């Protein structure tokens, strides 16, 4: 499942994936994999990413609930 919270928090802070990678000491390719659901961060990576984004690791990792279409 893609980590849409990660991407939303990153873009809200006007950071590129490279910026976030630099400040959190995580490889840019890993940031991309996390955002696209190809991988999950290790706890230490999640802590560093969350700190840069001003979130708790649990906020960053909790799944997002898709919104059902209101028809």
Beta carbons within 8 Å of 30's beta carbon, 6+ residues apart: 21, 39, 41, 45
- C-alpha span between 70 and 39 (Å, rounded): 31
Percentage with pLDDT > 90 across the chain: 70
For the whole model, what pTM was predicted?
0.83
Q: Mind listing the domains of the chain with CATH numbers?
A: 4-61 (1.10.260.40)
| Position 39 confidence tier, pLDDT thresholds 50, 70, 90 | very high
Which of 59 and 31 is assigned the larger pLDDT?
31
As a whole number of angstroms, the distance between CA 32 and CA 17 comes to 7
- For residue 2, pLDDT over 60 is answered with yes
Question: In this predicted structure, what is the pLDDT of residue 68?
Answer: 56
Percent with pLDDT over 70 in the chain: 85
């Amino acid at each position: 499942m893609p980590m849409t919270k990660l991407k939303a928090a990153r873009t809200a802070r006007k950071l590129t994936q490279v910026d976030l990678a630099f400040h959190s000491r995580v490889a840019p390719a890993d940031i991309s994999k996390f955002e696209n659901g190809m991988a999950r961060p290790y706890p230490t990576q999640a802590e560093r990413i969350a700190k840069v984004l001003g979130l708790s690791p649990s906020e960053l990792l909790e799944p997002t609930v898709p919104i059902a279409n209101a028809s």
